[in-house]
Amino acid sequence: MKRQTFLKACLLGAGAVAAPLGLRAQQRTKVVVGGAVTTMQTLAAYFSSTPLELYWKEENLDVEVIGLPGANVALQALQAKKVDMVPGTHSALFALLEKFPDAGLKTYFIHTNALNSLPAVLDKSPLKTIADLSGKTVGVQSLANSQVPMLKALVQQAGGNPASLNFVAVGEGVEAAHALTTNRVDALALYDGLYAGIEGEGVKLRELAGDFVKRENVGFNAGLIVRQEDIDKNRPMLIGLARGVAKSILFCQTNPEAAVHIHWKVYPATRPRGMPEAEAMRKSLLPLQARLKNVERPGGLFGNVTERQIAGYQQLLVAGGQMKAPMPAAKVWDGSMVREINNFDHDKVIRQAKQWKA
């Protein structure tokens, strides 16, 4: 199927997963957000359901969130002006910009700062460092998953031998947990939300790390990606979108249980079925809380990033073969709106979160 035909089909089908919006106020600016997954899971509450339910309307925006099958399709939709913003991963953005240097796409707000896809082992595993993975078998969602080249880069940076890694597709959840606990694999290369789901089944994990992936060295994992022309011409809209996310981060950090209830309301299909309310909440909270640990405020500002973090992230992509060469930070990042985005009443949001009732 041709790229444009496929993209059109995805967008036409996206209405089935669009979030309910209620009556639209005519004076609000219409914005379409293209998610990189067809269904927003609870770990995405702070950049999907919570701002949709609580904050984007406050910013005079009429937002529709549609789900698209993957980061590449979402970025193609953004480039084609079918959506106005993509909360996407930067590995996909760098790949697109290498292929199409004049694509005119750029991030202006970071929604996931830290590298959230470090390898993990059983808590009792003898493996202690990323370099220890040399010669080991590692489970991934699929062999086409981005964690494969990322782990190779991590092992290389740690002084190990990436060519000695053996990758096995293990899926996620119970299947991945079984592969690890039965010693079919020595480690997993997934990401924060999936690890949380495995631990929710009673399997204790431990992430492997190293000085080179400390948060001050590697950041810029994912953010709000937009067109350069909107940065030039539609800054109030972009500030409103990102401010809604910033408020939602604070809300979710203050009262994650409320955020889960809101997410269930906006996306009913994400609520676990066939179990008591308390257990459904526990299972839904885990991935959100795991993700929020990777959402930080560099310099005290939501959505911020340092050039050092951008450089460190690119270094990993180059080492893993996902990029040919680093790009200037200005090619992918515009932080000129971050301070204005953070200009809101933080105490008011905290009070709102604490007082929220299901």
Phi then psi for residue 227, to 5 deg, are -85, 145
Mean pLDDT of the chain: 90
Q: What integer pLDDT is reported at residue 209 of this predicted model?
A: 81
Amino acid of residue 299: G
Q: How far is CA 219 from CA 117, 170, 239, 286, 294, in A?
A: 12, 27, 22, 22, 10
Report pTM.
Answer: 0.88
Tell me what percent of the residues of the chain surpass a pLDDT of 90: 75
Where does 3-115+218-355 sit in CATH, by number? 3.40.190.10
How far does Cα 68 stand from its chain's mean position? 14
Coil vs helix vs strand at 109: strand
- The mean per-residue pLDDT over the stretch 152-179 comes to 92
Q: DSSP H helical segments within 52-146, as ranges?
A: 71-79, 90-99
Question: Residues 6 or more apart from 22 whose CB is under 8 A from it?
Answer: none
Question: Residues 6 or more apart from 51 whose CB is under 8 A from it?
Answer: 63, 241, 244, 245, 247, 248
pLDDT per residue over 97-134, tens digit each? 999 999 999 999 999 998 888 999 999 999 999 999 99
In the chain, CATH 3.40.190.10 covers 3-115+218-355, 120-213
Is the confidence at residue 302, as pLDDT, over 90?
Answer: yes
Parallel, antiparallel or unpaired: strands 137-140 and 187-188 = parallel
> What confidence tier does 70 reach under pLDDT thresholds 50, 70, 90?
confident
- The mean per-residue pLDDT over the stretch 251-275 comes to 96
Give, to the nearest 10 degrees, the angle between helix 90-99 and helix 307-319.
Answer: 70
Is the confidence at residue 259, as pLDDT, over 90?
Answer: yes
CA-based radius of gyration for the chain: 20
Q: What integer pLDDT is reported at residue 11 of this predicted model?
A: 54
* Extended strands (E) in 44-163: 61-67, 86-89, 105-112, 120-122, 137-140
Tell me what percent of the residues of the chain surpass a pLDDT of 70: 93
- Residue (of 72, 33, 89, 47) closest to 230 by Cα position: 33
Strand order in the sheet with 137-140: 166-169, 137-140, 187-188, 120-122, 205-207
Coil vs helix vs strand at 54: helix
Q: What integer pLDDT is reported at residue 16 of this predicted model?
A: 42
Identify the residue whose tokens are 């399997």: 203
| 284, two tokens | 């839904």
| 222, two tokens | 């994912």
Written out in words, the top-level CATH class of the domain with range 120-213 is: alpha beta
